[in-house]
Structure 1
Amino acid sequence: MTRALPPALARGLVFLWLVALLLGAVALGVGLGAVAVPPEAVVRALLGLEENPIVTELRLPRVLAGVLVGAALGVSGAAFQGLFRNPLADPYLMGSASGAAFAVTLFASLLGGLSPAFSQHAVFQHLPLSATFFGFVGALSATLLTLVLAGGVARTGELVLAGVVVGSVLTGLTTYLMMQDADRVRAVFAYTLGNLAFAGWEGVRVLALFFALAFPPLLFLGRVLNALGLGEETARSLGLPLEALKLLLLGAASLLTASAVAQAGIIGFVGLVTPHLLRRLLGEDYRLLLPASALGGGALLALADLLARTLARPAELPVGVVTTLLGGPFFLYLMWRRRGRA
């Protein structure tokens, strides 16, 4: 009879596997694409021994941005699932995705007339920091509006309903603005599908900054999420300032979501699938689940972006389409299992 591994060793192996998967995804993402780059050429370019703009200026920042966006969505998804005590919650539950899409559409509208050759790249290359800023402010504003409409962070059920209402209204406004210009429709539609094609070193720096600001507080609040899993009354009995801590959780998770959406558009299912899968391997301890979701989310999105670049090469798919095709069936499977248990 085979003896089971000690829990600590089993969890350590899970983290080693996640690190190896992430490093492998980065290596494949830098080396593969419309033009394959030999491994020795990748190493020489990374060490500065030869110039290779394909590696250092195009693929490496794109892959790193994908890792950071995936990590942000994975962590915020795990935090929202713990906060709402619902394994089917995702980072966009508070209306942040709709807020970012509306803000970027408004930004495109304020630019005025768009040329017939307008593409997704153009709006971000024209004023990349402004587009990112609009998306970030839109995502955070939608989250704050949801919080106000729900009457505070204490009303968990109302937060979900308010998020649905805010998202629906902002989606309607976005559609109205898009229909004012056919070229704008194509640009914003490409953004809402999620894309890492326009990611550069500036975006990597911005994402790294926000991740460094928001991830440590969430990691510190892992014990709070564990206590919430036992019920709010139990958490209050431990003497925790629950409302303030829940507000901090919501703020940090929303900050991560907003930064990811502002840089890469709306990429679905990463924040839903990653923590749900890792929960099966690591259990409900959020002190482990949060960092594992960062590693898993980064690896998942890096691999999805690699598929987006290679499946239809020399053209490429929006990475949000790939994650939807991968995550949609998984979500339906989760719903089927929950219905079967009920």
Structure 2
Amino acid sequence: MQLPRGIKETLITVKYEQQAELAKALGADHVVNINNTDVREYVKDVTNGIGFDAVVETVGGAENFDTAMTIVRKQGAVVLVAGYYKPLEVNLSTIVWSEATITGSNCYGYSGMETDFEAAIELIDSGKVDATKLVTHSYPFEEIAEAFRVSADKSSGAVKGYLGPYKLCSPEKMLTMHSEIEKVLETAPPDHNHLEHNRHLDSVLINNLATHPAIIKRMASLYGPDLLLWRTNFFIKEPGAKEIPWHQDFNYWPLEPPIIISAWIAVDSATLENSCLQIVPGSHRKVVPHVKATSDMAFNQMGDLGFIDTSTIVSLEMQPGEFVLFNERTCITQKQIALINGVSV
């Protein structure tokens, strides 16, 4: 976390898990989720009852103001950055007894003759502040409404490592292509023995699917227009087939630099019952060690489950013709389709 000189320890309060992960990645010493932790008691414990030297209140509301006054040390500083849109009923005695200095900070203001925005741009442009980790989405201008919707919905997991599902084509259109795709997969490719790999090289149909404008448009909004299609795979999920273990794609693809964005397209309906793609949101922000896979897995290596938080799994159920995007470090899996008396479930 980039801090002014003299600051030795920081605490960040969050409401959503993606915020907690980002705060940790940026170097916060303490990250407190207000949904399950009493901030006042936590600060009392870690500071031996003294409180923090300075508190920056960014949320607003009487309760948060009172919390700020409770966790600041005597004669400390409280900076109010939040927008207060109506009068608050607060306990002024906390200000008297703490002897704290309270300062308002208008993030749209001026520092001398320079606006705060100009100062921020200068800091980022000079490299003194690295803001890249704060950028979770990029949208073309024509999708500005969607960008505002996502930014306003804090529970959407804006920092999550995947996007979608999006619509590539209608379910009916994808199902009409189904038989043609099967014909491709029944024909041996010209340069290797893997029926499911890199069929965009010998099939116009597969190439057109992989480079569909709906996919390229969104990839380009994230990575720019200089994109290279270097691999396609089909995952054919037969009942009783081995499970695809938790993994990060870049563990198997030694590219340099390791910058990959994958589009996972549903040719058939993808449901929990037939082993849809599952993802751990936010897992792309760290490298997960991979270990030797067990014999019931489809891959020879798998992510070490001790480093994967499976309590936040998202199951990406999709209709034919939908797709999702995820990057090379997003933890993904596809479970085995079980067999009961010869019937897949």
In the superposition, the TM-score normalised over structure 1's length comes to 0.26
Q: Which one scores higher on RCO, CA 8 angstroms, separation ≥ 6?
A: 1
Q: Which structure dedicates a bigger proportion of its chain to helix?
A: 1
